[in-house]
Amino acid sequence: MVGKSGNVKLIEQFKADGLDVMFGNPGTAEQGLLDAAEQGPGFRYVLALQETVAAGIADGYARATGKAALLQLHSGVGLGNAIGMLYQSMRGHTPLVAIAGDAGVRYDAMDAQMAADLVAMARPVTKYAARVTDPRSLLRVVRRAVKIAMTPPRGPVFVALPMDVLDELNDEPVIASTVPVTVSAPEAGTVARAAQLLAAGERPLILAGDGVSTAGAQRQLVAVAEQLGADVWGVDSSEVNFPGSHPLYRGQLGHMFGERSAAVVAEADAVLIVGTYVFPEVFPGLGSPFRPDARIVHIDLDSYEIAKNFPVDLGVVADPRPALTVLAAELPGRLTSVQRAAAARRLAVRKEERQRTLGDAAVGGSTLECFLQELARRAGDDLIVFDEALTSSPAVVKHLPPDRPGDYFLTRGGSLGVGIPGAVGAKLAHPDRTVVGFTGDGGAMYTYQALWTAARHSVAAKFVVCNNRKYRLLDDNIAQYWKERDIPRHDFPSSFDLSRPDIRFADVARALGADGIRVEKPEEAADAVERMLAAAGPFLVDLQV
């Protein structure tokens, strides 16, 4: 065979785009591509035992690097396995480039084994889905996919790659994909109007999401919040968009019930929404939760999200960083001396409350509290937390406040299983940092195979299973359901219970090549943290909570 096949050229294209690590699970339809990947210098394949795990590791890697990640799936069955995790990536705007092979274009009419419409399967959970049917457009389609994945609002894309197309000789040039620059600031008149609307508020409020993190606009958001004396809430927020220990930060709005959001925003008369949409609950309120006279400014690069569910007074399609920069520069001239004094008082009140909270913090307590206190004392400044602990998350962020961009990643999308593979991906992205993934016993059993991948590839991530022997979130949610419908409390459904038989997570970890320990009492927590941090390889703590 003279020249290079599409398999070889595709690996070269991936490397030209900086996609030199492929996460996946092999299959026959991709065998030629994987053989070419093995021969290509400077290209790494990270093997997972199931596609959900591969997608979760790729998602964590992309989030931790801020770049696109390459995910290989096996035909329709592999894509089907990964769809739940791809939904997580779509909701969280993770730039994944997912590929899957099929037997070949020549077999389309045969209704053969494993034949499926891969594009139709992928379309609901991706920004872009396509199938290459001509070898002369293989690299062109891949470059288009990379561009779309990395263009804000970023997200996963999918390309189906038939084997016969990849086997053909390919003479396309290998050129790095072009990602357009979308950084833009609003014009002066728009900034002035936004500042005027927000400055007049006596009860200002900021709702911030991951668009802030993507833009690198955390410092600018702090400047705006402090000038307004505005409380800041995370909405559909899974990264560090505002320092967790800042006195104006009030925490996350709930992701389940609209009543929580309505209670938070009910009294606000000036609202800045930036880098997110309102509201992302599973059971959102259908009526507007805002005061009729509330002045609302919404800034986002994604025009679709602005005023998607509720009207706003000013919608601004702009990158959050330059937009907040010019807003912060405009506000001092718009705030009167009375308004500046009121903003300063609001900030001072929150600082006093913060100090009281720190002063009241107790040492000791539950096994979980003792473990987190010890981890906070020992971990140092290089700690990265990947948090899928759900019902234990409030304790995690209390003791390990997410202050610096890139130090904290929260689950998103609503499905379980991202905690362990996400931590593996983050550790692969930052091998010199300490990475601890928190998950629950329910979430851990979705993707525990990722422990094997960590052991195989010497990924020394750490994992903490907050083990309450149940799907605790479902207990909490059905209690709300009973309350809303005046149903008397009774025993929780047995399907929420995970206690019979007892899952020995440390034993599972050892069976997959990682080490582990079970912690049942508060006095065991310090030793467990010491062992976990000292471990040279992957280590799991089964923490009874």
CATH number of the domain to which 477 belongs: 3.40.50.970
pTM for this model (two decimals) = 0.95
In a domain? residue 178: no
Residue type present at position 431? P
Q: What is the DSSP letter of 378?
A: H
Q: Which of 185-194, 277-286, 289-298, 435-444 has the lowest mean pLDDT?
A: 277-286
- Residue 345 sits in the same domain as residue 448: no
In a domain? residue 175: no
Kindly list the strands in the beta sheet with 270-274, ordered across the sheet, starting from the edge strand earlier in the chain: 249-252, 231-234, 204-208, 270-274, 295-300, 314-317
Structure tokens at 137: 């457009």
Q: How far apart are CA 299 and CA 319, in angstroms?
A: 8
Are 46 and 21 in contact by the 8 Å Cβ rule? The answer is yes
The residue from 335, 360, 385 where one domain ends is: 360
Question: Which CATH number fits the domain that encloses residue 301?
Answer: 3.40.50.1220
In a domain? residue 265: yes
At 387 the pLDDT is 97
At 1 the pLDDT is 45
In a domain? residue 177: no
Residue 452 has pLDDT above 70, yes or no: yes
Question: If DSSP codes are grouped into helix, strand and coil, which group holds residue 463?
Answer: strand
Mean pLDDT of the region 161-169: 96
At 389 the pLDDT is 93
Residue 2 has pLDDT above 70, yes or no: no
Are 544 and 518 in contact by the 8 Å Cβ rule? The answer is yes
Q: Give the pLDDT band (50/70/90) at residue 30.
A: very high
Short-list 233, 281, 286, CA closest to 257: 281
Residue 388 has pLDDT above 60, yes or no: yes
Q: What pLDDT digit, counting tens, does each position of 46-89 carry?
A: 999 999 999 999 999 999 999 999 999 999 999 999 999 999 99
Q: Considering the chain, what percentage of its residues have pLDDT values greater than 90? A: 90
Q: How far apart are CA 207 and CA 279, in angstroms?
A: 10
The CA R_g of the chain, rounded to the nearest whole Å, is 25
What Å distances lie between residue 294 and 195, 235, 267, CA to CA?
14, 18, 9
Mean pLDDT of the region 474-494: 92
At 361 the pLDDT is 65
- Residue 292 sits in the same domain as residue 231: yes
Give the burial class of 285: count Cβ atoms within 10 A of its Cβ; 0-12 exposed, 13-18 middle, 19 or more buried: middle
Handedness of CA 249, 255, 256, 258 (dihedral sign): positive
The residue from 360, 394, 409 where one domain ends is: 360
Mean pLDDT of the region 462-481: 92
Are 453 and 46 in contact by the 8 Å Cβ rule? The answer is yes
Q: Which residues pair with 69 in a beta bridge?
A: 96
- Residue 384 sits in the same domain as residue 321: no
How many domains are there within the chain?
A: 3
The residue from 360, 387, 417 where one domain ends is: 360
Q: CB under 8 Å to 282, separation ≥6 — which residues?
A: 255, 256, 257, 414
The backbone region for 452, taken as left when phi is positive above 0, alpha when psi lies in -120 to 50, beta otherwise, is alpha
At 357 the pLDDT is 81
Helical residues (DSSP H) of 416-513, grouped into ranges:
419-429, 441-444, 450-456, 472-484, 505-511
Q: What is the DSSP letter of 444?
A: H
Mean pLDDT of the region 483-498: 93
Q: How far apart are CA 539 and CA 510, in angstroms?
A: 9
Q: Considering the chain, what percentage of its residues have pLDDT values greater than 70? A: 99
Residue 362 has pLDDT above 70, yes or no: no
Q: CB under 8 Å to 316, separation ≥6 — which residues?
A: 186, 190, 194, 297, 298, 299, 300, 306, 323
Domain assignment of residue 94, given as a range: 6-167
Q: Give the pLDDT band (50/70/90) at residue 358.
A: confident
